[in-house]
Amino acid sequence: MEFRTIEWKDHKAIIIDQTKLPLEERYLEIMNYREMAKAIKQLKIRGAPAIGIAGAYGVCLAANEIATTDMTVFKNRLSKIIEELAATRPTAINLFWALDRMKTILASNIEQTPQAMKQMLLTEAMNILTEDRETCRLMGEHGASLLKDGDTVLTHCNAGALATGGIGTALGVIFTAANQGKKIRVFADETRPLLQGARLTTWELMKAGVDVTLICDNMAAWVMQQGWIDCVMVGADRIAANGDAANKIGTYNVAVLAKHHHIPFYVIAPTSTFDLSLQTGAEIPIEQRAREEVTHGFGRQTAPAGVAVYNPAFDVTPNELITAIVSEQGIFAPPFHFIKT
């Protein structure tokens, strides 16, 4: 890719500010864990795998701020900060998965010094990023087998390199298929209310030279009826044990439409997105975001003052609407109870 969503350099994390795209490609130097928590909350970095990586680097930033040689003090302070980072966004399980890995490092090696522990935590965070790149590559290869030369894919939200440490989940499949020489066309839903499809997905696909057409969310049914869509590919932020999948709000709409029009609906997500502690999607916590995202989109008022607003960031697609789930382990077809992490 021509850009990096997140990387570590000179004792700080560097992220691409996704709130500035597509008009400006700006990179931010994140100097402390508070800045990282704020960046996650404000969607400067977003996408389930990416915020997992960001959370891990947030732990490293916090560790560097703790000036003590007392290991007990160090662990107690860092444990509280990890909980702060965990509270930034509730739906994407990858954040908690990555923070749990950091907590495991912190809980082990009790005889280590804080300085040695800081290096061990950084190594683990870098491992999470490296593993995600390989995971994206494998998902891309598995998913590309579902696409034929000439296929047209409908996407919703952004599930590309901007959402991961690698080439992406759903978009990673498209990039891989294109690199295999397949001619793939994409229709990208704009994805209200923050327009991740319009701002981010089209930006990524155009940079990669993939044929992409932007549509409003409420046009998806019409383009399906015209026979222009061969399959739908989306990412996920949390997948329950039965295969129910939470993704950006509006994904459920698309899945219902795909079912009606007999179009395959694929979810592409790493096994770190599977939450086998939850039996169904009804147990997935759904993040509620600020009313201003709907009433004042990008700073401009578009609704009457004082109107009531319901603004969930995600919805849950029932497993019966999902044709297959693609992970780094392969392609899972229904029933999904055999998914293992």
CA–CA gap between residue 317 and residue 253 (Å, rounded): 8
Low-confidence ranges of the chain (pLDDT < 70): 1, 109-110, 338-341
For residues 11 and 232, is the Cβ–Cβ distance under 8 A?
no
CA–CA gap between residue 157 and residue 164 (Å, rounded): 13
237 catalytic per annotation: yes
Q: Supply the pTM of this predicted model.
A: 0.95
Rg of the chain in Å (alpha carbons): 20
Can you give the pLDDT at residue 18?
98
Can you give the pLDDT at residue 338?
55
Alpha-carbon distances, residue 173 vs 160, 258, 325 (angstroms): 9, 19, 12
Domains of the chain: 6-136 (1.20.120.420), 140-332 (3.40.50.10470)
Can you give the pLDDT at residue 336?
85
Q: Which of 185, 175, 89, 189 is nearest to 140 (CA)?
A: 175
Can you give the pLDDT at residue 341?
45
Dig out the tokens for 39 from the structure: 């960046």
What is the DSSP track for 243-309?
S-EEEETTHHHHHHHHHHTT--EEEE--GGGEETT-SSGGGS---B--THHHHTGGG---S-TT---
Q: What is the pLDDT of residues 135-153, one digit of tens each?
A: 999 999 999 999 999 999 9
Q: Can you name the residues that pair with 274 across neighbouring β-strands?
A: 239
Q: Which of 313, 294, 312 is nearest to 303 (CA)?
A: 294
Q: 3-class SS at 185?
A: strand
Q: Which of 132, 189, 237, 275 is catalytic?
A: 237
Alpha-carbon distances, residue 16 vs 24, 43, 50, 107, 165 (angstroms): 10, 11, 11, 32, 12
